[in-house]
Amino acid sequence: MSDVKSVMIVGVGGQGSLLASRILGNVLLSQGFDVKMSEVHGMAQRGGSVVTYVKYGKKVYSPTVETGQADIIISFELLEGARYLSYLKKGGKVIINNQEIEPMPVITGAMEYPKEIPAKMKELGIDCSIVNALEVAKQVGSSKAVNVVLMGALSNTMEFDEQVWLDAVKQSVPEKFLEMNLKAFTMGRQLAL
Amino acid sequence: MNRLMLGNEAVARGLFEAGCKVVSSYPGTPSTEITEYAAKYEEIYAEWAPNEKVALEVALGASIGGARSFCAMKHVGLNVAADPLFVSSYTGVNGGLLIAVADDPGMHSSQNEQDSRHYAIAAKLPMLEPADSCECKEYVKKAYEISEQFDTPVLLRLSTRISHSQSNVELFDREEHALKDYKKDPAKYVMMPANAKGRHVVVEDRLAAMNEWCETSDLNAIEWADKKIGVITSGVCYQYVKEALGDKASVLKLGMINPMPTKLIQEFAAQVDTLYIAEELDPVIETHCNNIGVRAIGKKVFPLLGELSQKIIADVILGEKWEGKAMAEKLPVRPPVLCPGCPHRGLFYALNKTKVTVFGDIGCYTLGALPPLSSIDTTLCMGASISGLHGFNKARGEESAKNSVAVIGDSTFMHSGITGLIDIAYNEGISTIIILDNSITGMTGHQQNPTTGRTLKGDIVEKVSIEKVCEAVGIKRICVVDPLDVKALEEAVKRETQVAEPSVIISRRPCALLKSVKHEKPFTVNTDKCRSCKQCLKVGCPAISMKAGKAAIDWTLCVGCNLCKPLCPFDAIEAHKEEK
């Protein structure tokens, strides 16, 4: 069996999952792994369901992750975590941001937003941690920092030193927002999982 | 130095390293970033052309002028550029010419999933297909060598998973290539029948020479492992095959997809027990195998539609089922939507209310087709809103024009809307055209176009005036409306559709995602005043929903555009206290 590990970052277009994946990618590259990431651009980005795959190991072939393959799913939004749950490997981990963004079929009243998603995941025997990244992001001064807060939370489940992550944040965000993002990362890392 | 790079960025890096001098493209997902990254290199002149046909002609002209040149587009862009493509096969090149075309299997962001490999075969041009970012860069360099060695344009086929995946790339310095001499050569570059007859012979001879050459090219390679299973594959499918099968199969990876080798494939086929062909979309490799008498299993077991994956390969070839635990309940889908604060949402709200037939076009505004706005009747290809509506009105008569409009964005209008408008003006049409001018090419991620007043490199230039273009082609009724003024918009649509002459309504307000657009404080709902009438939900804004029976506005999404506020009959929408 190959040593390749897979992380999925899922959320809603506009939540900043691209930046998050690039931080993670830079962490992994700095640790000498072969890394592949697959991103979504274009139409799907416009408020749609967005998924980014990050894979690393000695040698990575496919840039995508398939059902039953993901070691970690980090979800920026509750419904999107539920949507991609089947991608989780047996024994994998879900980190889910406790935020609801209603999709159009819910807004128009055609469907209901699913209730108690984390509880239902736990009922299925899934290792699932809920974090309140939006609350933390507000504390650091911008609702847009949710992505970096979540990378902080994710960093707890991976074996790399904090400094490696902080360097990757520095590499990935514009100078102007660096201080805020470093704070967002540090506070995210302090969240209990 | 090593870096993680998008396939598209790696193509641009390849252009830099290969000494490319001129790049001209039109944006289109998933190809757009190639040209954006190429523009960052000072050594490369890079521009956005108004459409792919112009872009390819610019690149071809630069090649005739002796420069290594380049042009990128999405698969449907190659349809637009097909005219110069086919003839450039006859003229050949002077400086190397490379054309990148990015297919979109699975239609992540496209109106169809055509297979561009057919173009290479039809135009008798070589086509390379890289399988990761590293190959994206290396194949660009090889493509220029092939282009100059065989005097031919070369196609580089990408796909969404190659263009938009990142992997490790090693960087090298730029290798300068001096401009080649330009010599007048009508027999090569003036394609009238007498000359073209001579050039067709050259094309066939070249194809025969490349047929021979590709048998031993290192672009095609066999990786031997267990010989019970053999797979012929290319591009991203190679990665799926390797991940799913590992050393359980031998693999022939084709880096050159046209022409394809004969002897190499026959030799590979002879040494494996069962031969599969793993390719996305059409059976192009499979057809070649059939033609050369190699029996292989392809589309009989693999899907014609959508993308392949390691999961499909493992299922089909090994009979393995990869599954994970799923939620029991049916989950609501999350289709893309017009952004919160999109200034042009109000237009679709107004069109839906007035129940007119709407001929739509490509770009963000296609999203006006989705509920609750549900206002678009047709979307085909770039520019087809204007010409299509003209045909519809000619077929159904004057009355139909009173109840129908076309909607098109500013960049799409420049791309191929203008010619449709000329048709209307010239052929006594009476259609009503609405041009939604958001001052940018939106859907592909904010590219400049002739109406924005900036070039790809950031230079400030004279804007093409949409009004003056419309006027110049013979449209007399032209008005400009602010789409946030829904009432004025409704009046303009009612007025212009009723007159028996062609008219253009320009709905003008910049994209809410532009950095230059200042956002207001988000709105909030005063739940004491809200009577749950759901009037505000009709604009289809993703920031507005019902929470505990009352309307609610998500402050993280709302940009304070003020479209919903005047629609509330009870004045329940108020400014939010908190800044974002």
Pairing outcome for strands A88-97 and B250-254: unpaired
Residue B340 lies in a domain: no
Average of per-residue pLDDT across B561-567:
93
Sheet holding B127-128, edge to edge: B45-48, B22-25, B69-74, B97-103, B154-159, B127-128, B256-258
Q: For position B234, which CATH number holds?
A: 3.40.50.920
> Which residues of chain A are within 8 Å of residue B553 when distances are taken between CB atoms?
none
Alpha-carbon torsion, ordered A178, A182, A183, A184, to 10 deg: 100
By Cβ distance, the residue of A67, A103, A113 closest to B311 is A67
C-alpha to C-alpha distance for A59 and B291, rounded to whole angstroms:
36
Residue that terminates a domain, selected from B474, B508, B542: B508
Question: Cα angle vertex B492, ends B487, B498, to 5°?
Answer: 130
Residues B134 and B250 in one domain: no
- Max Cα separation, chain B? 82
- B102-141 burial, b at 16+ Cβ within 10 Å, e below that, comes to bbbbbebbbeebbbbbebbbebbbbbbbbbbbbbbbbbbb
ipTM (interface pTM): 0.96
Annotate B421-474 with DSSP letters as a single string.
HHHHHHTT---EEEEEE-SSBTTTT-B--TTTTB-TT--B-PPPPHHHHHHHTT
**A41, pLDDT greater than 80:** no
SS (H, E, C) B125-142: CCEECCCCHHHHHHHHHH
Residues B403 and B292 in one domain: no
Q: Are B283 and B301 in contact (CB under 8 A)?
A: no
Residue (of B115, B109, B192, B124) closest to B158 by Cα position: B115
| Residue A136 region by backbone torsions, left for phi larger than 0, else alpha for psi between -120 and 50, else beta | alpha
Q: Are B523 and B544 in contact (CB under 8 A)?
A: no
E strand or H helix that includes residue B208: helix B193-214
Say yes or no for a CB contact (<8 Å) between A41 and B546.
no
Residues B34 and B131 in one domain: yes
Q: Tens digits of per-residue pLDDT, B239-251?
A: 999 999 999 999 9
Closest chain A residue to B29, measured at CA? A42
> Which residues of chain A are within 8 Å of residue B240 when distances are taken between CB atoms?
61-62
Asked if A79 is an interface residue toward chain B (Cβ–Cβ < 8 A), one would say yes
Residues B168 and B314 in one domain: no
Residue B16 lies in a domain: yes
The pair of structure tokens assigned to A92 is 């994998």
Higher pLDDT, B25 or A14: B25
The whole-number pLDDT of residue B576 equals: 83
Tally the residues of chain B: 580
The pair of structure tokens assigned to B20 is 């490319």
Residue B330 lies in a domain: no
The whole-number pLDDT of residue B166 equals: 96
DSSP B332: P
The whole-number pLDDT of residue B428 equals: 97
Instruction: Compute the nearest-CA separation of A45 from chain B (Å).
Output: 7
List all residues 6 or more positions away from B43 whose beta carbon is below 8 Å from its beta carbon.
Answer: B16, B21, B174
Residues B245 and B187 in one domain: no
C-alpha to C-alpha distance for B511 and A86, rounded to whole angstroms:
37
The whole-number pLDDT of residue A43 equals: 67
Percent of chain B with pLDDT over 70: 99
Output the CA torsion sign for B196, B201, B205, B208: positive
Closest chain B residue to A87, measured at CA? B324
C-alpha to C-alpha distance for B445 and B333, rounded to whole angstroms:
23
Q: For position B77, which CATH number holds?
A: 3.40.50.970
Residue (of B181, B145, B154) closest to B67 by Cα position: B181
Residues B431 and B546 in one domain: no
- Match 């999404």 to its residue by tokens: B557
Residue that terminates a domain, selected from B157, B180, B214: B214
> Which residues of chain B are within 8 Å of residue A104 when distances are taken between CB atoms?
334-335, 337, 370-372, 540, 542
Chain A with chain B: Cβ pairs closer than 8 A: 205
Q: Tens digits of per-residue pLDDT, B310-369?
A: 999 999 999 999 999 999 999 999 999 999 999 999 999 999 999 999 999 999 999 999
Residues B178 and B241 in one domain: no
Closest chain B residue to A138, measured at CA? B580
Residues B292 and B412 in one domain: no
Residue B55 β-bridge partners: none
> Which residues of chain B are within 8 Å of residue A41 when distances are taken between CB atoms?
29-30, 32-33, 109, 164, 445
Say yes or no for a CB contact (<8 Å) between A44 and B109.
yes
Closest chain A residue to B160, measured at CA? A40
The whole-number pLDDT of residue A193 equals: 80
Q: Tens digits of per-residue pLDDT, B467-480?
A: 999 999 999 999 99
Say yes or no for a CB contact (<8 Å) between B540 and A107.
yes
**B267, pLDDT greater than 60:** yes
Residues B202 and B236 in one domain: no
Mean of all residue pLDDT scores within chain A: 94
C-alpha to C-alpha distance for B285 and B297, rounded to whole angstroms:
11
Pairing outcome for strands B250-254 and B220-223: antiparallel
Residue B518 lies in a domain: no
By Cβ distance, the residue of A48, A68, A86 closest to B334 is A48
The whole-number pLDDT of residue B148 equals: 98
C-alpha to C-alpha distance for B244 and B238, rounded to whole angstroms:
10
Asked if A91 is an interface residue toward chain B (Cβ–Cβ < 8 A), one would say no
Pairing outcome for strands B256-258 and B523-525: unpaired
DSSP B493: H
Higher pLDDT, A108 or B397: B397
Residue B194 lies in a domain: yes
> Which residues of chain B are within 8 Å of residue A58 when distances are taken between CB atoms?
none
Phi/psi for B429 (5° steps) reads -75, 165
- The whole model's pTM is what? 0.97
Q: Is the link from the previous residue into B30 a cis peptide, with omega within 30 of 0?
A: yes
In this prediction, residue B188 has a pLDDT band, given cuts at 50, 70 and 90, of very high
Instruction: Compute the nearest-CA separation of B327 from chain A (Å).
Output: 6
Asked if A90 is an interface residue toward chain B (Cβ–Cβ < 8 A), one would say yes
The domains of chain A, with CATH numbers, are: 5-188 (3.40.920.10)
Residues B543 and B455 in one domain: no
- Match 């001579």 to its residue by tokens: B198
Phi/psi for B244 (5° steps) reads -75, -40
Closest chain A residue to B578, measured at CA? A138
Residue that terminates a domain, selected from B459, B475, B508: B508
The whole-number pLDDT of residue A47 equals: 85
Instruction: Compute the nearest-CA separation of B257 from chain A (Å).
Output: 20
Asked if A46 is an interface residue toward chain B (Cβ–Cβ < 8 A), one would say yes
**B398, pLDDT greater than 60:** yes
Q: Which domain holds residue B239?
A: 220-318
Per DSSP, the three-state class of B579 is coil
Instruction: Compute the nearest-CA separation of B428 from chain A (Å).
Output: 36
C-alpha to C-alpha distance for B348 and B367, rounded to whole angstroms:
10
How distant, in Å, are the alpha carbons of B85, B294, B492 from that of B477? 38, 64, 11
| Radius of gyration, CA atoms only, chain A | 16
Residues B203 and B226 in one domain: no
> Which residues of chain A are within 8 Å of residue B29 when distances are taken between CB atoms?
41-43
Q: Which amino acid is at A148?
A: V
Q: Which of B243, B329, B366, B576 to mutate against chain A (most A CBs within 10 Å)? A: B243
The whole-number pLDDT of residue B277 equals: 98
Q: Tens digits of per-residue pLDDT, B418-462?
A: 999 999 999 999 999 999 999 999 999 899 999 999 999 999 999
Instruction: Compute the nearest-CA separation of A35 from chain B (Å).
Output: 6
C-alpha to C-alpha distance for A148 and B97, rounded to whole angstroms:
42
Q: For position B530, which CATH number holds?
A: 3.30.70.20
> Which residues of chain B are within 8 Å of residue A12 when distances are taken between CB atoms?
334
Instruction: Compute the nearest-CA separation of A162 from chain B (Å).
Output: 21
List all residues 6 or more positions away from A153 whose beta carbon is below 8 Å from its beta carbon.
Answer: A74, A95, A129, A131, A133, A188, A189, A191, A193
Say yes or no for a CB contact (<8 Å) between A46 and B367.
yes
Residue B331 lies in a domain: no
**What's the structural domain count of chain B?**
4
By Cβ distance, the residue of A67, A106, A134 closest to B322 is A67
The whole-number pLDDT of residue A71 equals: 98
> Which residues of chain A are within 8 Å of residue B554 when distances are taken between CB atoms?
101-102
By Cβ distance, the residue of B32, B33, B336 closest to A48 is B336
Q: Tens digits of per-residue pLDDT, A43-68?
A: 666 789 999 999 999 999 999 999 99
Say yes or no for a CB contact (<8 Å) between B310 and A35.
no
By Cβ distance, the residue of B322, B328, B443 closest to A66 is B322
The whole-number pLDDT of residue A42 equals: 67
Instruction: Compute the nearest-CA separation of A30 from chain B (Å).
Output: 10
Residue (of B31, B108, B40, B107) closest to B71 by Cα position: B31
Closest chain B residue to A62, measured at CA? B239
Say yes or no for a CB contact (<8 Å) between A124 and B310.
no
**B279, pLDDT greater than 70:** yes
List all residues 6 or more positions away from B71 whose beta carbon is below 8 Å from its beta carbon.
Answer: B23, B24, B25, B52, B55, B56, B58, B59, B81, B97, B98, B99, B100
Residues B241 and B356 in one domain: no
Mean of all residue pLDDT scores within chain B: 96
The pair of structure tokens assigned to B335 is 């289709």
Q: Tens digits of per-residue pLDDT, A109-164?
A: 999 999 999 999 999 999 999 999 999 999 999 999 999 999 999 999 999 999 99
Residue B529 lies in a domain: yes
Closest chain B residue to A112, measured at CA? B332
C-alpha to C-alpha distance for A60 and A64, rounded to whole angstroms:
10
Q: Is the link from the previous residue into B372 a cis peptide, with omega within 30 of 0?
A: yes
In this prediction, residue B577 has a pLDDT band, given cuts at 50, 70 and 90, of confident
Q: Which of A3, A39, A46 to mutate against chain B (most B CBs within 10 Å)? A: A46
Asked if A1 is an interface residue toward chain B (Cβ–Cβ < 8 A), one would say no
Closest chain B residue to A56, measured at CA? B167
